[in-house]
Every structure is written in structure tokens, then in C-alpha cells.
Structure 1
Amino acid sequence: MSYADKVFIEMCRDIIDNGTSTEGEKVRPRWEDGTPAYTVKKFGVVNRYDLRKEFPALTLRRTGIKSCTDELLWIWQKKSNNIHDLNSHIWDSWADEDGSIGKAYGYQMGVKHVYKEGMMDQVDRILYDLKNNPYSRRIMTNIYVHQDLHEMNLY
């Protein structure tokens, strides 16, 4: 059992013992029989790992590495918001009849912005800054764009 597994188990115990239930709230997820799928949640959980000792990979649960990688590439490389560009079906319930999830995720990565160096999307800007200004504290992206929330199928 890895250190990450032990941290995960302790975190789950803490959430179960001290978390807040969503029972009675209006929740989106449903069980197969249509009843609400309530959860127990806890805000602000932070886990820290010393990467010099080990990479924090969970070994307790199966991880769909291919699906995870595909989703990351769907957002960051393809800059897509269309589920037809994705090999998994995790986003299907949020897609419209054309396969779009609206102005979310990959869409936001592909929007071009004007910089003094020229037009770039967020990914291109990060790559530019990593190459030309690697010590900047401003190398970041934002896929939660308030002005577009009303056009996102899952904000």
C-alpha cells in the first residue's frame, strides 16, 4: 500500500465521520432506479506529498489511465468541447444533440487573446511563457470564465 493510499483512506474516513451530507438537497446525480444519489462532502481538504519519496499514485482503485490521458489531451491539445472528439463517454450526459458541452473546458483553452507578442490561446501563452519567461508567477490558465457560464452545459 502506497503512502497516497493511506492518505486517501484517512481522508475518506474523515469525510465520512465529519463531512456534510447532501441528503434533502436538490442533487443532479441519480441512481439507476431514479432516486437521488446523495453524497457526503467536506470543503477544503488538502493532501500533501513529498515527491522525493514517491509519486502519489493510488493503488487501491483501478485508474483508467487511457481515459484520463484521452480527456487531458481532449482539453489541452485538441482544445475541444465536443464529446465526439473524446474516446470515453464520461461527458455524454452534458452534451447537446451535436455533441457540444458548450463554452466549457477545451473551448476555453482555444479562445485566442491579444498579447503584445501576438494572438495566442491559453495553451500557446503558457508554452510561450515557459520558454521565454520561465520564472513568471503568472503562468496559469482559467477554464472557469464567468461571462461564458450561461453557455456551458456543465459550469
Structure 2
Amino acid sequence: MQSPIHETTELEELEEFVINFRMRRLKLGFSQTDVGSVVGKLYGKALSQPTISRFEVLNLSYYKMCYLQTLLQKWLEETEDSLKHSSDLTGFYPFTTYQPIERGRLSQRSFTRAFMHNPKPTSEEFGYLAERLGMEKKVVRIWFYNR
């Protein structure tokens, strides 16, 4: 069993990591959703936006916080190392369309342009558009059907 002093030190280190993580995430231009999906694709454990949010406000169990700290520390290090060698993250994340947080407005414009070009796309075109926008194919299909 750990002493109370040791546990306090670990909690302080965890709090410090969370503060630094949030600042570095924002500086890199990733939303909480981006982090969750990229971590999932890289390490096989997808994290939801609410999970990242709860991590950033220390609103998870101690053990869950420690587990996420390990994953997120690894993600931060790999992302920052990638940026040292290149100013563009698309090589590091070839399966995502890395974009700053303004994705919503950009997606709306892309959807509208695609709809004007072809209001009834094929399944392959849905897939291509979804991949380009970093979204699920189902989301793209539903947007077109609701249009």
C-alpha cells in the first residue's frame, strides 16, 4: 500500500499533466473529438469526446485517469515528434484529414459543394467524401438524404 504522501504526489503530477495536455492539445489545433478518434486509430482504443472532456476536468476515477494519461502522453509525444520533422500532420495521420477545430463550417461548405455537383452520389462517392472530411460514411449519407 502506498503512503498518503506518495499518493498526493501522484495526484499533483496527474493534475499537472492534465493542464499541460489541454494547453498542448489546443496549441496543436486538435479538438477533443479529434484526439479521441486519432488515439483510437493509433492504439486501438477509441475515446469519446465526453471522455476527453471529463479527463481534462479531472472528473474520472483515479485508475481511468492514469490509464488515459499513459495513452494521451504517448499520443502527445508522437504528435509533437512528427511536427518536429514536418510542419504537416497529414503524413503522420494519413487516414484523417487533419484540420483545425473549425471543421463544422468547412464540412458544411464541402457538403453543399458536393450536393450541387451531384445530388445523388453513389456509395463509393459517399465513401470518398466521408474519407476526405474525416467522417463516417453513414453521417455523409444521412446529410444527403436529409437535404
Q: TM-score, normalised by structure 1?
A: 0.23
**Per residue, is there more helix in 1 or in 2?**
2
**Per residue, is there more strand in 1 or in 2?**
1
- Structure with the larger RCO, 1 or 2 (CA within 8 Å, 6+ apart): 2
Q: TM-score, normalised by structure 2?
A: 0.23
